[in-house]
Structures are given as C-alpha cells and as structure tokens.
C-alpha cells in the first residue's frame, strides 16, 4: 500500500483525548560535546550482568579505535540477574556523567533493569553534565527519558559486550558521523520502502517493547512530531502487531511523522510462516498517511550496528528506495585542544 505523506497531524480521535498533552512539550535540546580519539569513555552496566570475556574484548576494540575505556570495579557485581544493586547502578551512572575526565558514557549491555533507575537517578545532574550516551535494548528506557526530561540528545547504537566485542559489530561510518561530526549526514541503502512519502520530524524511539511499557507511567514516551524508530528481537509477528496497536490506541501514533522499523531480528512465528513481518506492520500502520521504511540496522542486529542520534531533526524519504537524512548535528564542537598523538585505527 503506497501513500503520500503530508506531515500534518491526523484528525483527533478518542485516543488522542486521553493523551497527556504536557508530555509533548520538550525541553530545550542539549547536544553533548563531540567525541575525539584519545578521549576517555566511561562504561556502565545499568541493567543486566554481562559476559566478562566479551566485555573485555569490547574494551579492547575501543582501544583499537583510539579511545580509553574506563569502568568501575563494581561493574562486575551481581544481584540476581542485575549488574549489582539498583543503588550501585544508579550511583555508577551519575558518577560517569559527573566525572570531568569521561567524555562519553557507553553501556555494557541491556537485558533488564533500567526501569529501576528512573526514580533513583537525578536527571538534573545529567542535564548539567551533557555527554554522549549510547545504548539500546533495555537502555531505551534511559535514552528516551534523558531526551524527554532533560532535552539531551542520546544515541541508539552499539554496546560494549555486544557490538564492540564482535569483529563486524559496529558501523564505523555512522558512529563517527553521529558522535564526532558537526555536519548533518545520511543513511542510504539500509531500508526497504513500505509506504511512500517524505516527511520531517524529530528522530526518536528504540526497542518497541520498552516503548510500549512506558505507557501509563510518568516516563511515558513523547512521540508527537517524531520520526519514530522501532526495533525488537525474538518477538513473534502477532506480538509486534499487538504492541503497534497498543501505541495506536494510546494515541502515540497520531502525530508521528514517519516510522522506521529496525532489522527486527528473529521476529517470526516459524520458518515456514505464510506471511512476512513487513506485511503485518504495513497492515497496522499503513493507513496513517506517513512514510514507512523497514530494515534500519540499529539495536538488535546481525552485524554493523548503526548509531542513531535521538532528538535531532531528520528527514525520511521513502520512494523506490528509502533514505534518512539528519538535518542538524547531534554533537557540539569542542573548544579544548586536540591531542593528535591518538589516531583512530582498525
């Protein structure tokens, strides 16, 4: 089903009347300072525990890229399935943002547990010490909250124990463009067109199941005026359908300007199912009058995790092919001296 996009809010609905309108008012956007070779990157474990061997392999990869990975000894703590107590995880996150020597904060992995931090972390501290913050999966909870509550541009992308530990786990072009460049950039050749159209909006989103779980809480996602990126892993097609319908009935798709689906890794009922996930999602969102694309490789992926800056203005063009352009930089230019003794290398 092909439609054009007017990028005009849809007609009001009963669901829209129940939306929390104040939630769509965003604070002033904060772009964190750009990342450079030689910088110290702090690593945190805000959710589940992780594999130590893969974690150390990811740290080595960061060194090879020219960065200096830093983490607290307590990161290896365990409490049930968490990376230590909620107090430890909250304290670690705040400390990494407050440390002057740390230029970016990367997550070891997702899993489960970031929701415990919502009432523990002082988001005002995050806003006072803006830094590049990168994660995916369960970390979606923090990515959207930091953007919605503090106005901080956050980054949906590779994590240390996952993508950085894999040989071809990080898309280096998007990593560099998102975290180090003061110029807008584009992603092409990664997406399949589902519904045609052109629109502009604020790039936003993350793991679909985490976005849905925010509904009805004080940390509910703010989707108005966005190009919504959604991805997930191991969700059956009917479960993806149900989550999208949930967002639709909650009014969260009413003023979305475009939708981009991720790779949707292993999101199938069976190997011989007589339909595609593309058909499933098109039936749910194909009537919204907005462009829809599928297959952007960020989050749960098979290879080369793409880094997406959440909070920046972007343009989605879906015709015979699909393309996503960022319309503004995700980071601010740094004025401190550049140390050329460090060089990024593979």
Active site residues: 137, 231, 300
Alpha carbons 311 and 154: distance in angstroms, whole number = 7
Tell me 334's DSSP state: P
Euclidean distance between CA atoms 265 and 112, whole angstroms: 18
List 305's β-bridge partners, or say none. 170
- Residue 5's nearest CA partner among 193, 189, 184 is 193
Say how far apart CA 147 and CA 30 lie, in whole Å.
9
Residue found by looking up tokens 């997550």 in the block: 107
DSSP conformational letter for 149: I
Cα of first residue to Cα of last residue in the chain, in angstroms, is 43
Give Cα 113 distance to the centre of its chain.
16
Residue 327's CB: how many other CB atoms inside 10 A? 13
Q: How far apart are CA 209 and CA 28, in angstroms?
A: 27
Return the SS3 of 265.
strand
Return d(Cα 311, Cα 148) in angstroms, integer. Answer: 9
Residue 168 token pair: 């071809």
Q: In the structure encoding, which two tokens stand for residue 28, read together?
A: 């002033």
Cβ neighbour number for residue 217 with a 10 Å cutoff:
11
Q: Which of 197, 195, 223 is nearest to 294 (CA)?
A: 195
Q: Do 126 and 102 form a contact (C-beta atoms < 8 A)? A: no
């Amino acid at each position: 089903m092909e439609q054009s996009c007017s990028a005009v809010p849809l007609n009001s609905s009963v669901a829209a009347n129940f939306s929390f309108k104040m939630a769509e008012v965003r604070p002033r956007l904060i772009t964190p300072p750009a990342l450079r070779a030689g910088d110290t990157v702090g690593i945190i474990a805000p959710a589940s525990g992780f594999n130590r061997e893969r974690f150390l392999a990811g740290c080595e990869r960061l060194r090879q890229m020219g960065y200096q990975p830093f983490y607290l000894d307590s990161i290896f703590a365990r409490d049930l399935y968490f990376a230590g107590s909620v107090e430890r995880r909250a304290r670690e996150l705040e400390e990494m943002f407050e440390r002057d020597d740390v230029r970016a904060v990367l997550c070891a992995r997702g899993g489960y547990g970031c929701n415990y931090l919502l009432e523990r972390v002082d988001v005002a501290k995050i806003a006072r010490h803006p830094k590049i913050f990168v994660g995916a999966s369960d970390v979606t909870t923090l990515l959207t909250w930091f953007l919605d509550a503090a106005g901080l541009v956050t980054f949906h992308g590779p994590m240390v124990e996952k993508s950085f530990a894999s040989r071809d786990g990080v898309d280096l072009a998007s990593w560099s463009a998102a975290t180090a460049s003061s110029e807008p950039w584009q992603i092409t050749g990664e997406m399949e067109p589902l519904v045609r159209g052109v629109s502009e909006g604020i790039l936003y989103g993350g793991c679909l199941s985490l976005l849905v779980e925010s509904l009805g809480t004080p940390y509910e996602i703010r989707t108005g005026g966005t190009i919504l990126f959604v991805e997930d892993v191991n969700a059956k097609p009917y479960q993806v359908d149900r989550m999208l319908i949930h967002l639709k009935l909650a009014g969260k798709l009413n003023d979305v300007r475009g939708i981009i689906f991720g790779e949707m890794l292993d999101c199938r009922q069976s190997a011989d199912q007589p339909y595609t996930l593309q058909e499933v999602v098109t039936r749910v969102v194909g009537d919204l009058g907005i462009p829809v694309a599928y297959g952007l490789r960020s989050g749960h992926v098979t290879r080369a995790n793409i880094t997406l800056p959440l909070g920046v203005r972007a343009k989605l063009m879906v015709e015979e092919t699909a393309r996503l352009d960022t319309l503004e930089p995700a980071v601010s230019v740094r004025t401190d001296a550049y140390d050329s003794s460090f060089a990024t290398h593979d």
